[in-house]
Amino acid sequence: MRRQLALIHFALGGLQRRASKSVALVLGLTLVVGLFGSTLLLTDALRREYELLADRMPDLTVQRLVAGRPSLIPEATALMIDDIPTVRDVEARVWGYYFFTAIESNVTILGTERDGESLDVAVEDGRLPRAGNEVAIGNGLADLLGLRVGDEMGIPLGTEVVFSEVVGVFGDDSSIRSADLIVARPAHARVLLGMAEGWATDLAIDLTTQDEAAVVAEHIAERMEGARVLDRRLLRRTYELTFDTRGGLMALLLVPALAAFLLLAWERLSGLGDAEQREIGVLKAVGWATSDVLLARIWESVVIATLGAVSGLGLAYVYVFFLGAPGLSDALLGWSNLRPAMQLAPAIDPLQAFSLLGAVIVPFVAVSVVPAWRAAMIDPDRAMRGGR
């Protein structure tokens, strides 16, 4: 123990003597881990947020394809499906998109007959629509249009403007799902979407048991021409993959991080300066064993890697969960004007934290072993004379 403390003490002295180099290495690692960590924390938090409520999707969603595109479904189709065994409920949903020219953004218009006090908690200010032309809107949309509860919202449809009464505004809490929503009663949603009575966007099917989903999907395909049946389990699995680091910008973001890390590793491998060589020569001349020199060098790397990795993780965490990842989310989420408030719950747990730290510290220390060994094997006489 005392020997290790003495070696750590010497290693710290070495870092102090090469202060600028040590600080540069720590800062470099902090940056790499910060960049890598923030994308990891952000995507993990998004994936977790989706998974939290993925089980509340309909067991099956049925679309109708015409010429390879989803088309409206006659509401009567629901009657052809609800007598299939294990089908508990079929709901013909009315929803779609509307391009708001004033704010140059797409909004999602959704009709629902569900209401009641238990569901009104979805709305931070006001309530869900219960009748007529009432609507509840996302706070992103409300902010852009400057609307509050009690205001009237005019939506241009052709040559007319259809007015809706804003009775509720969704809050920051649920902004990640509701920022661009306009929720209305189905009849009013039809007006806003230009959908005729008797037609639906898709069918949401609730089953008595999810295990029968594949069988029910086959039945539906037989009964309905052009049916496209989506299984909830598949949708869930897709989301698990959706935020994975895939091609495009995410990978591009990681390339500089990887390059910087390799540069650091290369720096560690690239050998010793004259001063360091002389120092090792003196140490060996006064009786230090090869293993002592090796250990002292490894301790230096451990200190640098730990400091860099932990501060990088801390920085990434603050950046994503306190500051809302400005810049990164702008870069990733594109030109859409409607942005949700990034109030995400972190997914990071001790295992993930230590895995991330280990993924940085272990390779960094590992690549430092080779130069450490080369340094330790140096001939003291030649080292002190500055030879190689």
Partner 1 sequence: MGSRRLLALGIGVVLCAAVLTSVLVHAAKRRSVRAGQRAHGALVDATGMTDLALSSSARWLRHPSLSEPGAATADLPSSLDVDPAGALIGPPTEILRSGAPAPADGVQR
Residues 308-327 interacting with partner 1 (rule: CB under 8 A)? 310-311, 313-314, 317, 321
Using CB under 8 A, which of the segments 263-271, 289-297, 340-348, 362-370 binds partner 1? 340-348
Our finding on whether 110 is near partner 1 (CB under 8 A) is yes
- Per CB under 8 A, the list member of 74, 186, 226, 380 interacting with partner 1 is 226
Our finding on whether 162 is near partner 1 (CB under 8 A) is no
Return the number of the residue (221 or 369) whose C-beta is nearest partner 1: 221
Return the number of the residue (89 or 379) whose C-beta is nearest partner 1: 89
By CB under 8 A, what part of segment 342-361 binds partner 1?
Answer: 345-350, 353
Q: How far is the CB of 266 from partner 1 (least distance, A)?
A: 26
Our finding on whether 140 is near partner 1 (CB under 8 A) is yes
Query: What size, in residues, is the chain?
Result: 388
Our finding on whether 199 is near partner 1 (CB under 8 A) is no
Our finding on whether 34 is near partner 1 (CB under 8 A) is no
Using CB under 8 A, which of the segments 104-112, 262-270, 275-283, 374-382 binds partner 1? 104-112
Q: How far is the CB of 377 from partner 1 (least distance, A)?
A: 27
By CB under 8 A, what part of segment 37-96 binds partner 1?
Answer: 43, 46, 49-50, 52-54, 56-58, 61, 63, 65, 67-70, 91, 93, 95
Phi/psi at 193 (5° precision): -95, -10
Our finding on whether 181 is near partner 1 (CB under 8 A) is yes
Our finding on whether 179 is near partner 1 (CB under 8 A) is yes
Our finding on whether 282 is near partner 1 (CB under 8 A) is no
Our finding on whether 249 is near partner 1 (CB under 8 A) is yes
Q: How far is the CB of 368 from partner 1 (least distance, A)?
A: 18
Q: How far is the CB of 343 from partner 1 (least distance, A)?
A: 8
